[in-house]
Amino acid sequence: MSSKQYDVLVIGAGASGLMTAYMAAQRGRRVVVVEKANKVGKKILMSGGGKCNFTNLYVEPENFISHNPHFVISALTRYTNWDFIGLVCEYGIEYEERKHGQLFTLNGAKEILSMLLSECDKTGLVDIKTNCDVKAVNAVDGQGFQVATSLGYFEVESVVVASGGLSIPTLGGSAIGYEIAKQFGHHVYPTRAGLVPFTFSDGFKEVTTRLSGNAVEATLSNDLNSFTEALLFTHRGLSGPSSLQLSNYWNVGQSFSIDFLPSVDLNELFKAKKQSQPKVLLRTLLTEYFPKSVVLELQALIWADMAETAIGNLSDEKLEHIAKRIHQFEVKPSGTEGYRTAEVTLGGVDTTEVSSKTMESKKQKGLFFIGEILDVSGHLGGFNFQWAWSSAHAASEYV
């Protein structure tokens, strides 16, 4: 079976793939989207706890990680967060702003997926095929591509690789996009899990297990970056926004620092309390700022030998040391939870070999790369979705 009824074949029916499909179809292009999973948009549906953090109010190039940081500017400038917010409003989708400018749907991620599918349907030029595995992509001299799939062959002018990365393989993550890139001579940066919880194998793991379910507002930092957001203790280690953000800037074998109370200068607080409440215990003082279970674990880690000593009987040097440990608590993860729970894949197709204007390969005419497959990863907070929308829009104008 050979099909010549399409102009464009999109690999992957996720955020960037569906966006490209409907926008290319609006230009009169006949599009087929092939998806290996049994349903489309699985990652959209589970994102943001099912509420889909679809973009952010404050999108800047600095919110993205890439070996070629200027690459994102062109696409983000031509299709902005406000463009996508406009589309969401056209559909009457209700949303709310949360911390740090994050925008979430009020009634569920299914509304974002329905919107994209509706836009595809309106054109009458988009076919979506699920349970469709890509077997081979071959360039045909001067005539585009022949794509072999489990549902037959497609002959098209353009191929758009929107297959995503390796994160959450149960939702369809695979290496097909990287294989296609390498086949056509592209350099692919090594990949690793990003926006992912940390795991521990030392004594600190026992601490996180006992504190599992507790969260505190903390600052996590290393030499590359620093994030102040919620820190969640888990049975395996550390999660929550601050951990996920820092995981993008961490490699195995490295340590990082936790400031458990960034909003308070503990050294100054201790000095003042030593004067005003000399009989108070440190743990009593700190229960104003932390859950009691967290205070007791910090006590065991930092000042166990003075647990029953009133603050008035502790030297200024000792109090300063305790304050410093709480503000700069060093930990060394053994690893992360890996692709199983990672929200993004770091690394990917080298963007110096892809046009920042069109997303077209500089090595193969008619071959386009968009979304997570590229060496572009956003911070937590809607930035990866915005990259999906913006890169899809850029490609859709040229496929």
Domain 4-193+344-397: CATH superfamily, name plus number: FAD/NAD(P)-binding domain (3.50.50.60)
Nearest Cα neighbor of 121 from 21, 34, 36, 37 is 21
CATH says 197-337 is which class? Answer: mainly beta
- Indicate the pTM of the whole model: 0.94
pLDDT, tens only, 35-60: 999 999 999 999 999 999 999 999 99
> Which residues contact residue 157 at a Cβ distance below 8 angstroms, ignoring those fewer than 6 apart?
7, 8, 143, 144, 145, 366, 399
Measured between alpha carbons, how far is 11 from 17 in angstroms, rounded to an integer? 7
> Which pLDDT belongs to residue 2?
57
Beta carbons of 383 and 173 less than 8 angstroms apart: no
Provide the residue ranges of all domains of the chain, joining segments of one domain with +. 4-193+344-397, 197-337
| Model pLDDT for residues 158-198, shown as the tens digit of each residue | 999 999 998 877 666 679 999 999 999 999 999 999 999 99
Q: From CA 57, how far away is CA 85, in angstroms rounded?
A: 9
pLDDT for position 5: 87
Q: Is 152 left (phi over 0), alpha (psi -120 to 50) or beta?
A: left
pLDDT of residue 141: 83
Predicted pLDDT of residue 1: 46
Hey, what amino acid is at 212? Answer: S
What gap in Å lies between CA 59 and CA 102, rounded to an integer? 10
Identify the segments of the chain with pLDDT beneath 50.
1
Nearest to 261 by CA among 302, 231, 237, 225: 231
Dihedral angle at the C-alpha atoms of 294, 296, 301, 302, nearest 10 degrees? Answer: 100
